[in-house]
Each structure stands twice: as structure tokens, then as C-alpha cells.
Structure 1
Amino acid sequence: MSGDRIESIAAALVVGGGIGGMAAAISLAARGVRVELIDLDPEWRVYGAGITITGPTLRAYRRLGLLEQIKAEGAITNRTRLFRYDGTHIADLEEPVIEAGLPATGGIMRPVLHRIMQARVRELAIPVRLGLTVTALENRAEGVDVTFSDGTSGRYDLVVGADSVYSTVREIAFPHMAPAVPTGQGCWRISIRKPPTLEAGEFYLGHANPAGITQCAPDSVYMWMLTPHEKRDAHFTDEELFQRLKELLADFGGNAGWIRDNMTRDDWINYRPLAAALQPRPWYNGRIVLLGDAVHATTPHLASGAGMAVESGIVLAEELGRAGTVAEGLHAYQERRFDRCRDVIESSVGIGRLQLEHGDPEAHKALLEGALSRLNEPF
């Protein structure tokens, strides 16, 4: 990974050690910035679902220098198979290769992806402080005074808020923004061993609850299903998650049916309601800036949340390296990212709305294909 050295920033704080935060930390450090990374989780963990890695996301990871590790520890393919929900094969879609030498698509377990990125953070000697967030941020002429949740403080030339859809940095420094908005859908996920006949990624269509399977390693997959949000007063217990997902899969054949019949209580199952938000500009306040879910939270319909976060981390460092001043760099970052993130969010939410309304499949197909084609364009 190479780029212009960032002369305007000596020290930066990245708040949030997820995908976007690590991408920003890696990108800034590679351009000569002394970066410090903090994360609220004292164990710096991530939950256990897999993640679909589209061509655009793989392209972004190649820019970070992590493509070969992802290929080695994930699963790469060049097609997606479409089935009717009962298991009847409909068609195979050949996935386009958007850059020479770049795989078309694939998947990886999210904890494995985090481990790969964490290793790169450590290779760059980026200090990481855990069990920590910020409680106060004060813009000064040449930096930001930061108060941490453990009572300590520091001054940085730049503060990057990449601390999730529930961003503390956003709450402190961006009063014109609001929390993400529920979309009315929820997403079920299960991580499980690979069905014996699975050959590529699969989508199951024609049901009120669309589903899909992504291979994440030679012997493991994750399956997702989108349903209308199930409102409850309390979270599902592990037993309830298991029984409810079995019920939701009752109509399904093919490998989705195989997962229903072979899933056990030891398999990791998760349910969460979906929410999305494209936060209004400005995305920066003085020398405080947001990226990832903190400012452009999307739903999984285009499998692009992680890709957008990585792209934003890369673009932030690129524009700061090109600009004469920090303010110019932050503005250029915002303008370069805003419309692309808006397209992803509006398209994803639109697809979800069509699913909830059992809308025209051709409209669904057109919206999906158009969005995916635009995602393949350079960022």
C-alpha cells in the first residue's frame, strides 16, 4: 500500500476497532501518521457470523495489502447460484472480475477477517487501547483535546469516529445527526459446516423471506435470511433462536433445507433488526471526522457495509495526503464518499422495501443489478 505522505497530521486517534476503524488506522499509518486506536470492547472481539466479500470489497482489501491473506483463509468463487426456495435450480450468475488478478467474489468468517486486520495493525506498531471510549472532544485551532472514559486525556491532530452505528463520537460532536432508522426487516444468520453439495454462493428466491448461503472457508458457511422484524420485549434466548430459525426454514429445499435438518444448538445463530442512515453533511467538525456505520450505515442487501467502511478509511487517508490543509482533505473525503454511500444505502433500503411489500421481482432485479454495476465502478 502506498500513497502521499500526510504532512498536515502527525498524530491521529481512531475511535472504534472494527473494520472501518482498522482500515482508517492502517491507511493513515501507511502514510506516516502516528495512529492510536481505541475500542470499547476489552477483548477486541467480533461476533461469529460470516461475511460476503464482493468484488468491490476485495478490491478495497487489495488496496490495504490484505487480499492474499483473505484468499488464503476465506473462500473465493466466480459465480452465484439462484434457486427457487424449494431447491429448484433457476440459473447460475457468473460474477464479473472488475480488476485484473482480482477474484470475483467470496466469503470469510468475520472473526477471521478481524484477526487478519488486527495482525496488520500490530505489524504497523499502532498502539491499541481496549475497554476505552471518549467522553469529551474539544476542537482547538490545530487539534482536538480528547478526554477518555478512564479519565486520561490527550491531544491529536485528527480524531476519526468509526465507533459503530451507535457512535459516541457522533453523539458528542455532531448534533445535526440522528440515530439510524429501523427499516422494518430483521436478519437471521447461522454459521454452520458446509453442506456436502454446495459449490458456490446460493440465493433462494420466491419466498416471503429471501435467504442465501455464503461459503466462508473450505468447510464452513453462513446462511442469512431476511424477515419482517419480529418485535419482542426481550431478546431471543438461544433455544428460541434455534427453534424459530427452524420454523422459518420449513418451506425450503436444497442446501437451505439441509441446513435446517442438520443445524444443532452448538451452531452460532443470531438475529438482529436492520437499520440504516446516511447522515447529513458535514461529516466532519473541525478536526473530528466520521466514517463507516457511524455516518453511512447500510443494510446487508448489497453485501457492502464492510466494503464501504474499508473504502472510506482508504479515501480519508488518500485525500488528506493530497490536500494542502486538513480542512481541504476532510471536505474532499466527504464529497468523494457521499454520493457512493447514498447510492448503496438507498438501493439497499429500496430492495428491502420491495421484499416487505412482495413487490415486482423485475423491479427487484433491476434495482439490484443497477446498484451492483455502479459498485463495480472505481471509488
Structure 2
Amino acid sequence: MEGRAKQVVIVGGGISGMTLAVALRRQGVAAHVVEKARPEDQLGTGINLQNNALRALKQVGLLDDCLAAGFPWNSVVTRDHKGHVLDERTLPWTLEPGIPGALGIMRTTFAKILADHAEREGVDISYGTTVDKVDQHADGVDVQLSSGESLRADVLVAADGVYSPLRNLVFGTEHRPFYAGQGVWRYTVPRPETLDGFTMFRGPTGGAVGCLPLAPDTAYFFLLESSVSPIRFEEAELASALAERLAPFEAPELRDAVAKIDEGRHISFRRFDILLMPQPWHRGRVVLLGDAAHSVTPQLTSGGGMAIEGAAVLAEELGRHEAVAALSAYGKRRAERVRTIYDNSLRICELEKDPTSDGSESVKLFVESFKLLDGPY
């Protein structure tokens, strides 16, 4: 008779993979993370974690360090292009003691917290390594690594992102990420003292620039850009292209950011390639997690949160059921919630590209989505 998983190999050391590894170790399950990048290669600007993600981090025992390193916030302020306040609203969460409505944090800081906890919990981590071959058997999975090492696991987790090589290897390439018609500019800056929550600056003729605090001394501005086909920029073009797009905004915080745009602060532009894999999310003992299963547009700032929730749920189910049954239970438990957030995020993205939209449908979708996220995962 099959038993519960005792050894899990996780391919991908990002948010979902490392969160799962920590959760499993705290249940007494051995975890081995295989990550193609090296710790010093971690990139990224920042990430916003909504209250639902923070609840999941608390469940796994990761919340306190994240709160200490990031910037908690509970309100959304809307300003015009000159910086005048138009509206201020408190986040619609049912707050538990000690858990804010949301948290901004640097991705590199968050990654280090996850890796440090994983190492302290005794997770084996193979950096600079990929998977060459997978062989499934009735009682386990054999995993051949690029390093020449062979691993045996009860469960193999594909947590290696939206372009997941492991997903392609095991599930095939029928379902591929597709371009959602938008991309995002991100620009890391010293946090303006006047911005202590999530702030949106409305453009004089449409469009908007957002600001998310990431730490007491750090924030990032972001700007969505729509296009029929993907836009690409060379590294040397980023600063001037972003400055051009910020030119219509006269708010002092944005003028100061533009004035310092050549000082080497991190600027990035990333297109939105998204995917929602059909159920089931497992093939035998191989299961998809995080962006490998569901990569969403960022309108609801829930991509990372969905990955963290998924890791917490998968760990729970592996602790409750025999291995393959646990994978099925995890997929069924996540399916409807993930589908709704994926659909609503994409619909809001499409409405943002529609010049005839008056915003009413977007507001309705935001309310519906936050009501769902406020509930159990």
C-alpha cells in the first residue's frame, strides 16, 4: 500500500519552490531543491504580497522575517498627474492581529529569506543544476540531474516558472504561455517620504504610474504599457525610454525619479506571458506548482500570492494523504480559486487596453476578486 510522501524533489528555487520546501521540512518531509540559477544571480525589483499571501506565509512560519524586512501598508491613494490627492481607501481585508493588508518587499530580500529558512530547516539545495531525465515508477520517481547526480523521490514538483522545462518534459508542449498584450516598466528608487502606501498617479490624458514601497528606504515605480506584439528594449535604451513615458507626470515624486534615472538604479521592462494549465496538474507523481501551473497578469497583484498559497496547500495535502492522492486533492482544492483570479486579472488587463471602457466593470472585478482572496485558500 502506498504511503505518504517522505522525499520530495522540487525543481525551481523561486517563491513557490522554496516556500514548499520549508513547509515540507516543518512536517518532517525531506526536500531537495534543484535550481538552475545561483544565489548571486537573483534579480528583480519588488513584489507586493496581499493579505492572503501573508496568511499563507504565517502558516509556513515565514511571515515575521518578511514583515521585518519589507514595508507593510493598508491603504491605496490615488493622485492626479501633479500629485494632488483624489481618493484614499483602506484595503478591504478581514485583518488578523499582526498581519497587515499587504506588504511590499524587494524580490532579492524575499528570496534570501526563503533560502535562509530552507537551509536552516535542512533542505538540500543544488544550485546551478537542471533536470536531464525523469523516470516514473509505481513507487517513485528517478530524477537525473545535469550534475550527474541521481535522485529518488516520492513526488517531483515542477516549480520552475511559466516557461517550465520540466512541465514540457513531462506534460508535453501543447499548452504554451501566450502574450497578454501588456508589459510593465519597473524602476527602483529611494522611497519618497510622502508615499507611505500604495499610490497611483493618474496621467493627464490616460494611463497611470504606480508606486509601491518595498522597505523604509526603498520603493519602485511601475507603468503598464500595452502593445499588439511584444515590445523589446536593449539595456542601454531603458532609461531614456522610461523617462519619455514619465514626462507627462508633474508630481514632485515622479519628477525627482526622472531626474535620477541615469544613476544606475534598477530599471526593467517585462512583457506578460501568461498560462493556465488544465486540470489535472499532475501526471503520476509529477506535479505543477506556481507559475508552472498558472501565471497571471499583475492587475490583482496576485501572482506571487497564488504561488505561496499553492505551496502551503500542497504541503498540507501531502501531510494528509498518500502521495498521488495528495496531488489530486491539491489540484482540486486550487482549481476554482486560481481560475477566477486568472480570468479576472486577464479581463481587467483587456479592459485597460480598451479606450471605451469606463472602469465600472474593472471595479466590479476588483471587488469580486478581493472578496474571494479574503476567504480561505
TM-score, length of structure 2 as denominator length: 0.94
* Deviates further, 199-208 or 61-70: 199-208
Please name the residue that 2:235 is paired with: 238
Structure 1 residues 267-282: aligned runs within 5 Å: 267-282=265-280
The correspondence for 2:293, drawn from 292, 295, 320, is 295
Q: Which moved more, 1:339-348 or 1:191-200?
A: 191-200
Match of 1:28 among 20, 24, 31: 24
| Matches of 2:300 and 2:372, distance apart in 1 | 11
**Residues of 1 paired with 2:317 and 2:304: CA distance?**
20
Deviations 1:136-186 (A, max 9, x none): 112100001111122332221110010011101100111275121110101
Deviates more, 1:8-17 or 1:151-160: 151-160
Give the SS at the match of 2:219. Answer: strand
* Aligned with 1:228 (options 206, 226, 230): 226
What CA distance in whole angstroms lies between the structure 1 residues aligned with 2:121 and 2:198?
34
TM-superposed deviation, 1:295: 0.7
Offset at residue 346 of structure 1 (A): 0.8
Residues of 1 paired with 2:254 and 2:178: CA distance? 30
Aligned residue in 2 for 1:368: 366
Q: How has the CA–CA distance of structure 1 residues 44 and 305 changed in structure 2, closer, same or farther, with 3 Å as cutoff?
A: farther
AA aligned opposite 2:345: S
**CA contact 2:76–2:197 (8 Å) conserved in 1:** yes
Matched, 1:202 2:199: yes
C-alpha separation between the residues in 2 aligned to 1:70 and 1:86?
A: 33
State yes or no: 1:174 paired with 2:166: no
In structure 2, what is the Cα distance between the partners aligned to 1:329 and 1:376?
A: 25
- Conservation of the 8 A alpha-carbon contact between 1:106 and 1:214: no
- Structure-to-structure mapping, 1:52-201, within 5 angstroms: 52-101=48-97, 102-175=99-172, 177-201=174-198
8 Å CA contact retained: 1:289, 1:330? yes
CA distance in 1, matches of 2:81, 2:363: 16
Which residues of 2 match residues 259-270 of structure 1 at below 5 A? 259-270=257-268
Cα 1:232–1:180 shift into 2, 3 Å:
closer
Residue 192 of structure 1: how far off its partner (Å) = 0.9
* Rounded Cα–Cα distance in structure 1 between residues aligned with 2:216 and 2:38: 31
Which ranges of structure 2 fall in alignment gaps of 5 or more residues?
none
Describe the shift of the 1:174–1:164 C-alpha distance in structure 2 as closer, same or farther (beyond 3 A): same
> What CA distance in whole angstroms lies between the structure 1 residues aligned with 2:248 and 2:202?
12
Distance 1:12 1:32 in 2: 11
Percent identity between the two aligned chains = 33
C-alpha contact (below 8 Å) 1:56/1:98 kept by paired residues: no
Report deviation, 1:257.
3.6
Q: Which runs of 5+ in 1 are unaligned?
A: 1-5
Q: Secondary structure at the match of 1:204?
A: strand
The SS at the match of 2:39 is coil
Residue type of the alignment partner of 2:361:
A
Q: Contact 1:22–1:118 (CA<8 Å) still a contact in 2?
A: yes
* Structure 2: distance between partners of 1:76 and 1:282: 36
Q: What is the Cα deviation at residue 274 of structure 1?
A: 0.5
Task: Report the CA distance shift for 1:195/1:262 in structure 2 as closer, same or farther (over 3 A).
Answer: farther
TM-score by length of 1: 0.93
Question: Please, what is the CA RMSD of the aligned residues?
Answer: 1.9
The count of aligned residue pairs is: 372
Deviation per residue, 1:73-106 (Å, 9 max, x gap): 1111221111233433211111234342111112
User: Which residue in the other structure is 2:217 paired with?
Assistant: 219
Preserved contact between residue 50 and residue 216 of structure 1 (Cα < 8 Å): yes
What does residue 327 of structure 2 align with?
Answer: 330
Residues 143 and 169 of structure 1, relative CA distance in 2, 3 Å threshold? same
Contact 1:283–1:290, Cα closer than 8 Å, also in 2:
yes
